Amino acid sequence: MTVTNVDWRSDEVVARLARRHRRDVRLKLAGMAALGFALAMLATLVISLAATGYQAFTQTHVRVDFALSDEHIDADDPQRGNYRAIVGEAVAALFPELDSPAGLKRATGILSSGAQNVLRDLALADPARVGERVVLTVPVSDPFDQLAKGLVRRDTPENQRRVSDAEIALFDRLAEAGRISQPFNWALFTQADSRFPELAGLKGALWGSFYALLVCFVLSFPTGIAAGIYLEEFAPKSRFTDIVEVNINNLAAVPSVVFGLLALAVFIGWFGMPRSAPLVGGMTLALMTLPTIIIATRAAVKAVPPSIREAALGVGASKHQVVTGHVLPLAMPGILTGTIIGMAQALGETAPLLLIGMNAFITAAPEGVTDAATALPTQIFIWADSPERGFVSRTSAAILVLLGFLIAMNALAIYLRRRFERQW
């Protein structure tokens, strides 16, 4: 072995060292840039959703005096009243100078077509009020909502916006009269889907998601725990156990749309279960959540120290008693954490629900697990596909609601982990 004398101070070596350090810095900067890019994308995502979505949390309303005259409604049969005429008369009273039918029709267009439904609900709830005059705040239709929120700009040429100058003038008169207000949009949570953006809400989707997750939980939670405990505590080391384990790992990586195909062919095609039902959606989601819960259960059970088992066995407990009396309670926080995370994933799952028809247009909230319904993510998909401008902000708002639920669920999981995690 020859030892060469190297002059560590020579220009060549110093230059090389500087070069090597520069490369180090470059790698570090590239890493920072990559992290920055990822975080910038996250920020863009959140900001763009918040910027378009916040506007859907308020809704422009107009205060109008309606006369529930018995001319148009029969107090004995309020269902069949001519509510359109009542709305028309109320609008005519607001703008006495409009006498042409076209002008009146234009003015009536300021009000949402839901105004008739509000009046009908009122008359149905209390037929005694027929004949009275009522003052109501009703939503304005989507183009005027956009106008009031500044999303339709007044300086765009008239032929490029959905409201004409004449309509804007009428709307401004209402605003000057102090009849326009912009309260919190409760309808977003109390109404189901609608063709009209100003009336569309998430109630149906929220209930649909709730029922689907309920079914998913009822099926996957006990099954997942039982399977996880069996594989971790009881299963003999055999070929069969190996097959089951490989299966669970692979199942976790099967594309979600394939689960939708399974549900469509088996649950709906062969078993004849109803389409669009949260029951079928929940069963599909349960199959997808099962691997998550099994894996979480196994990890939590494995974390329980053997000394606990040995102590219990030592005082005469059977293997099953050890598991149900000691291992399972100690593993429960870990299992629950995994389950909540699995449920959060299930809540955001869309593709399988599309295939089983949970993207239908349904204007009533489901009352059970077999009623046709949508779910939060499929509602987002429906609204994102709708051409009306008002649905853009509503889609973002629905996404914000969904993300809110996901954050709450994950926060709960983190809290449980922190609160109950034990170091043995």
Partner 1 sequence: MIGYLVALIALMSLAGYFWNREAAKALRARGSRLHSLPSFHGSYAVALAALPAVIFLLAWLVFEPSAIDMLVRLGLPPEATEGKGPGEISLLMSEIRQTATGRIFGDPPEHVLAAAERFTRLNALADWALGALVFAVAAVGLWLARRSVAPAFRARQGVERVLTGLMIAASVTAVFTTLGIFASLVFEAARFFAMVPIDEFLFGLNWEPQIPIREDQIAGAGAFGWLPVIWGTLVITAVAMFVSVPVGLLTAIYLSEFASARVRGVAKPLLEILAGVPTVVYGFFAVLVVAPAMRDAGRALGLDVAPNTALAAGGVMGIMLIPFISSFADDALGAVPRSLRDGSLALGATQGETVRKVLFPAAVPGIVGGVLLAVSRAIGETMIVVMAAGLIARLTLNPLDSVTTVTVQIVTLLIGDTSFDNPKTLAAFALGLMLFIVTLGLNVVALRVVRKYRELYD
- Residue 223 in the binding site for partner 1 (CB under 8 A): yes
Quick check: 13 binds partner 1 (CB under 8 A)? no
Mask: binding to partner 1, 273-312, rule CB under 8 A, as x and -? --x-----------x--xx--x------------------
Report CA torsion sign: 131, 135, 137, 142: positive
Closest separation in Å from C-beta 96 to partner 1? 43
d(CA 52, CA 151) in angstroms, rounded, equals 10
CA distance 11 to 31: 30
Cα 364 to Cα 83, 117, 247, 270, 360, distances in angstroms: 21, 14, 40, 28, 11
When asked if residue 355 is in the footprint of partner 1 (CB under 8 A), the reply is yes
Among the listed residues 381, 390, 394, 397, the single contact to partner 1 using CB under 8 A: 381
Which stretch in 159-167, 174-182, 196-204, 318-326 sits in contact with partner 1 by CB under 8 A? 318-326
Site for partner 1 in 324-353 (CB under 8 A): 344-345, 347-351
Q: Judged by CB under 8 A, which of 38, 124, 177, 408 binds partner 1?
A: 38
Minimum distance from residue 144 beta carbon to partner 1 (Å): 23
Closest distance of CB 155 from partner 1, Å:
21
Q: How far is the CB of 251 from partner 1 (least distance, A)?
A: 6
238-277 binders of partner 1 (CB under 8 A)? 243-244, 247-251, 253-259, 261-262, 264-266, 268-272, 275
The SS3 of residue 279 is helix
Angle CA 334–340–342, to nearest 5: 105
Nearest to 188, CA basis, from 388, 401, 403: 401
User: Of the candidates 10, 14, 21, 177, which one interacts with partner 1 according to CB under 8 A?
Assistant: 21
d(Cα 277, Cα 211) in Å, to the nearest integer? 9
- Could you tell me if 394 and 224 are in contact, meaning their C-beta atoms sit under 8 angstroms apart? no
397 binds partner 1 (CB under 8 A): no
Q: Which of 184, 174, 366 is nearest to 280 (CA)?
A: 366
